[in-house]
Structures are given as C-alpha cells and as structure tokens.
Amino acid sequence: MSATAKTLTLHLGLLAVLFALQFVLPAYHHGNLARIMVLASYAVGYNILFGYTGLLSLGHALFFAAGMYGMGLTIQYAGFTPAPALIVGILAGAVVATALALLALRTTGVAFLIVTLMFAQAGYLTILYFGEYTRGDEGFVIQAFDRMLWGIDLSNPENRYFAAWGLFAVCLLLCLRLVRAPFGKTLVAIRENEERVRMLGYNTFAHKWGAMVISGTISAAAGAFYGLLFGYAGATFASVQYSIFPLLWVLLGGAGTVLGPFVGTLFMFYLIDLSSGVTTAYLLIVGVALVLLTLFAPQGLTGELRRRVWRWLP
C-alpha cells in the first residue's frame, strides 16, 4: 500500500470508528466524546500554527472566544438562528486572526508568545468589561429553543454527537489536505529553517500569516460549535487557561502530526476523568503522567509512533 493509501485509510478509518461509536457508547462516554471531538478540533487548529509552522502562540483562547461570542451574542441579541450565528462566529475568528497576525508576526519566538498572550488577555478583559452583554465570568446560557439548526435540535445528545463529529471530520480532513499541499510543506520548511525558505524565493511572512488565519479560523469554528452544542458562553473560555490547553493537548498527542491533537485531547480528558475518580489529588497523577510522557515520548504519543513505527504518518 502506498503512503497516501495508508494515510487515507488510517484517517478515514478513525472517522468511521468515531462515527460508529455513537451507537454503542454508554451515555456518559457518549457525551464525553462529543466534547472531546469539539476540543480536538480546536487543537487541530492550534497545531497548524504551532506544530506545522513552529510558532508558539499563547493567545488562541482569543480565537476560540471570538467564535464562541460571535455566535452566542448574535443569537442572544440579534435573534440569529444557529446557521448564520455560526458563520458570524467563524468570521469573527478569521477577522481577529487576520488583524492579530499582522501585529504579532513582526515578532518571533518568545516575543511572539508574549504578544499573543497579551492580546488574548486584552480580549478576556474586554469580555469582562462589557459584562452587561457578555455576563462576564458567569456567562450566559443559550436556550434549547435557540439551538435548532435546520430543524435539528442540537441540545439532543445524538444530534450533538453527530454535529461534533461533523466538525471534527471537516477540521481533520482540512488539516490533512493542507499539510500534503505545497503550502503546508512550505510551512514545515519555515518551521525548520525560515531564512533558507526566504532565500528560495518564498514570501515567508505571507505564509505565516496564512497559517495563522487558518489556525485562528479553525479555532473559532471550534469555539462557536462548543458554545452552540453545549449551550453556554462564558469568559472562562477566553482566559489564558484555554490558550494553554491546546498547547498541552498538541504536545502530548504529537505536535506536527495530523492525529496528534485528537490523541492528546482524548488522553488528557480521560486522564483527568479517571484520576479524579481515584483521588481528590488527581492533578498530582496528571502531573506525573505529563512528566513521564515528556521524558519518554518528547515528540508526543503520535510523534513517537511516527518515529518508531509509521514513518509515513503525516
């Protein structure tokens, strides 16, 4: 089997398994997996900038929140139905990413990290400042009757799972398509050696800009879906915590791999879930697991798999 055939089999296979799981999983895990797929979509977006382009951002909560509030506020105050509200959310993320990229990409490395972090904090404070509309930390609930997408009730667990699966499938295949295209390969080359890429005749700024807009837009889509599917928008999702999460998921799962974000999100979610069932000091268990992974699988779970077994893994 050629590398392309293996790649397609693996990724489509995963999507097929995830699709089938909804019919067999007990209610609790069914709900978890829906949540994981939406969060994994967020991580897929983050991975395009961090894993493939090599730009470490600590401001992605800004994009996630832009999607969530772009969707939530238009439903709440403009009376939008879910479909146009989702589009507004995704566009809001794209616009924010386009603007932030122009400013932040003037820097690299640690400075880039700090600039993105500062803008995300400014976004978080803005949401608190306009608490009259956003309800600040407390957030607001998006009522079940507002969550009817083309007559489908998204507050229903089966429909919610299906929508989460659809979002994840689109993000995963988009990412796969991107990294196999010349544009994605150029991003990888920029990660490896930007100056060399520039001296091959590429406008590296434009490439990084494109990567950041795609990354931010996918993150915003995840934020918009998260708010719509789980019926809530709150300022916590704009806090620095939600910028660190995708970084952790991607690092654990394998930065610069298409499957890494999903694997990392799944692993982290259930690590917290299972360990908190054992002890109240569950963060201790989580911490030890993270240290062990960093020691023995520094390239993340999928990254190790690629290094040891499946060299062809994209």
Partner 1 sequence: MTLLSTRGLSKHFDGLKAVTGVDFDLEEGEVRALIGPNGAGKTTLVGMICGRIPPSSGTVQFDNADITALPAHKRILRGMAYTFQITSVFARLPAAENVALAARRRLQGDAVDEAVDDALDRVGLLDRRDEEAGNLSYGHQRLLEIAMGLVQRPRLLILDEPTQGLADSEIDAFKALIRELSAEATILLIEHNMSVVMETADRVTVLNFGEVLAEGTPQQIHENDAVQAAYLGTG
Min dist CB 204 to partner 1, Å, is 7
201 touches partner 1 (CB under 8 A): yes
For residues 299 and 216, give the distance between their C-alpha atoms in angstroms, rounded to a whole number.
Answer: 24
CB 70 within 8 A of CB 90: yes
For residues 193 and 101, give the distance between their C-alpha atoms in angstroms, rounded to a whole number.
Answer: 20
Min dist CB 250 to partner 1, Å, is 18
Toward partner 1, which CB reaches closer, 160 or 191? 191
Min dist CB 295 to partner 1, Å, is 21
CB 172 within 8 A of CB 12: no
Determine which residue in the list 21, 141, 152, 188 makes contact with partner 1, applying CB under 8 A: 188
186 touches partner 1 (CB under 8 A): yes
For residues 86 and 79, give the distance between their C-alpha atoms in angstroms, rounded to a whole number.
Answer: 13
CB 61 within 8 A of CB 102: no
Toward partner 1, which CB reaches closer, 106 or 196? 196
193 touches partner 1 (CB under 8 A): yes
Q: What is the dihedral of CA 23, 25, 28, 32, to 10 degrees?
A: -90
CB 167 within 8 A of CB 146: no
Determine which residue in the list 16, 78, 125, 200 makes contact with partner 1, applying CB under 8 A: 200
Binding mask 163-182 for partner 1 (x = CB under 8 A): -------------------x
Min dist CB 258 to partner 1, Å, is 17
Min dist CB 55 to partner 1, Å, is 17
Toward partner 1, which CB reaches closer, 188 or 240? 188
For residues 20 and 11, give the distance between their C-alpha atoms in angstroms, rounded to a whole number.
Answer: 14
Min dist CB 47 to partner 1, Å, is 17
- Near partner 1 in 22-51, by CB under 8 A: none
Which residue stretch of 97-105, 190-198, 219-227, 244-252 sits at the interface with partner 1 (rule: CB under 8 A)?
Answer: 190-198
9 touches partner 1 (CB under 8 A): no
For residues 123 and 111, give the distance between their C-alpha atoms in angstroms, rounded to a whole number.
Answer: 18
Please, what is the Cα angle at 130 between 124 and 135, to 5 degrees? 85
Residues binding partner 1: what is the number (CB under 8 A)? 17
For residues 204 and 36, give the distance between their C-alpha atoms in angstroms, rounded to a whole number.
Answer: 33
DSSP 8-state assignment for residue 181:
S
Q: Which residues of 52-77 are buried (b: 16+ CB within 10 A; e: fewer)?
A: bbbbebbbbbbbbbbbbbbbbbbbbe
203 touches partner 1 (CB under 8 A): yes
Determine which residue in the list 41, 204, 239, 265 makes contact with partner 1, applying CB under 8 A: 204
Residues that bind partner 1 (CB under 8 A): 182, 185-186, 188-189, 192-193, 195-204
